Amino acid sequence: MGKISPNAMTVDVEDYFHVSAFEKQIKVSDWGKKHALRVDVSTQRLLDIFAQHDTKATFFVLGWVAEACPQLIKNIVEQGHELASHGYAHQKANQQTPKVFREDVYRSKSFLEDTTGVSVRGYRAPSFSIDPSNEWAFEVLAELGFIYSSSTYPVKHDLYGAPDWPRHKYLRPEGIIEIPIPTNNSTKLNLPIGGGGFFRLYPYRLSKALINNFIKRSGEPYSFYFHPWEIDHEQPRMKDASFKSTFRHYLNLHRMETRLNCLLSDFDWDTMSNAYQLNGLENERSSADQTNN
């Protein structure tokens, strides 16, 4: 077995009021108004942390955040990180029509590219919302010029999941490379180990062991995801949300930054494109298209 590439560090750049758990409590018209913007400060804090650890990451940026904080996305690119799309309005892809999905993703990709001058090649659906009900989304992504997606979580969950889909990087028939969120399948069920709320739930030593086990058994990079609001433990509390939603969202926020620093020290990290060796695929696709034509 050859040397395993560094792992992929990824950030879903959205604010606390964008999350699906609070969509019934927060109106889109109140974004950044009644609910004040905090993602700019927390994301800049992450950039500082990554710089301290000499780590490059992939930032899946929500288009709404990019339009509200254009200098922030310029900072991300200027500091050598990879810029990717998280869609525009944080609507679940499996709750959109193909037309609405295309418009949402196109708006995000276009603004990110026009503002920074770099090509946006990666996409992650809000709440990992590509599943058997909307496989057409991959065709739309290919048409819009994306190279890869990280939009599926092969687990059973009440908010998302495609438990019967592949657990590792693979090429879709539509030409998109899909990189699922990592799981552990030591038992009969796929255990979520990709980051986010589960990383805050598990003791750090357990997370570290699960990550090492994934790398050892799969022989491929591991990818980790989280959000800027997860290091913002002073964010406002939603009073009208369900117990389940508040528990998931606020659990161990005060421990997240310490755990993140441990994670950055204990493993080697890089962008999605570097970790999964995706660079140069645009040229291959272009050559293939010319040959077919």
Question: What are the tens digits of pLDDT across the range 226-246?
Answer: 999 999 999 999 888 899 899
Query: What is the full DSSP assignment across 153-167?
Result: --S--SS---TTS-S
**Distance between CA atoms of 84 and 276, rounded to whole angstroms?**
15
Out of 2-11, 94-103, 111-120, which region has the weakest mean confidence (pLDDT)?
A: 2-11
pLDDT score of 281 more than 80: no
Higher pLDDT among residues 36 and 177, named by residue: 177
In CATH terms, the superfamily for domain 7-292 is: Glycoside hydrolase/deacetylase (3.20.20.370)
**Distance between CA atoms of 224 and 8, rounded to whole angstroms?**
6
* CB distance 107 to 88 below 8 Å: yes
pLDDT score of 254 more than 80: yes
**Distance between CA atoms of 217 and 203, rounded to whole angstroms?**
21
Give the CA distances from residue 168 to residues 115, 161, 163, in Å, rounded to whole numbers and listed in that order.
33, 14, 12
pLDDT band at 289 (very low <50, low <70, confident <90, very high): low
Predicted local distance difference test score (pLDDT) of residue 290? 45
Question: What are the tens digits of pLDDT across the range 51-95?
Answer: 999 999 999 999 999 999 999 999 999 999 999 999 999 999 999
Predicted local distance difference test score (pLDDT) of residue 291? 44
For the chain, give every domain's residue range. 7-292
Higher pLDDT among residues 287 and 216, named by residue: 216
Residues in contact with 172: Cβ distance below 8 Å, sequence separation at least 6, in sequence order:
138, 178
* CB distance 76 to 59 below 8 Å: yes
**Distance between CA atoms of 129 and 133, rounded to whole angstroms?**
9
Type of residue found at 235:
Q
Predicted local distance difference test score (pLDDT) of residue 284? 56
* CB distance 229 to 14 below 8 Å: yes
pLDDT score of 33 more than 90: no
Predicted local distance difference test score (pLDDT) of residue 283? 53
Kind and range of the H or E element at 222? Answer: none
Question: What are the tens digits of pLDDT across the range 201-217?
Answer: 999 999 999 999 999 99
For residue 4, how many C-alpha atoms fall within 13 Å in the half-sphere facing its CB? 17
**Distance between CA atoms of 289 and 293, rounded to whole angstroms?**
6
Mean pLDDT, residues 266-282 taken together: 91
Question: What are the tens digits of pLDDT across the range 257-271?
Answer: 999 999 999 999 999
pLDDT score of 41 more than 70: yes
Give the residue among 116, 103, 186 at the shortest CA–CA distance from 144. 103
Predicted local distance difference test score (pLDDT) of residue 55? 98
Indicate the burial class of 4 (C-beta count within 10 angstroms; 0-12, 13-18, 19 or more).
middle
**Distance between CA atoms of 131 and 163, rounded to whole angstroms?**
9
The residue ranges of DSSP E strands in the chain, in sequence order, are 7-13, 58-61, 82-85, 122-123, 148-149, 170-171, 177-178, 183-184, 191-192, 223-226, 269-270
The DSSP symbol for 31 reads: B
Mean pLDDT, residues 33-57 taken together: 96
CA 33 from chain center: how many Å? 25
Predicted local distance difference test score (pLDDT) of residue 3? 45
Question: What are the tens digits of pLDDT across the range 117-170?
Answer: 999 999 999 999 999 999 999 999 999 999 999 999 998 776 666 888 999 999
Type of residue found at 260:
L
Predicted local distance difference test score (pLDDT) of residue 282? 66
pLDDT score of 251 more than 60: yes
Phi, psi of 285 (to 5 degrees): -65, -40
pLDDT score of 285 more than 70: no
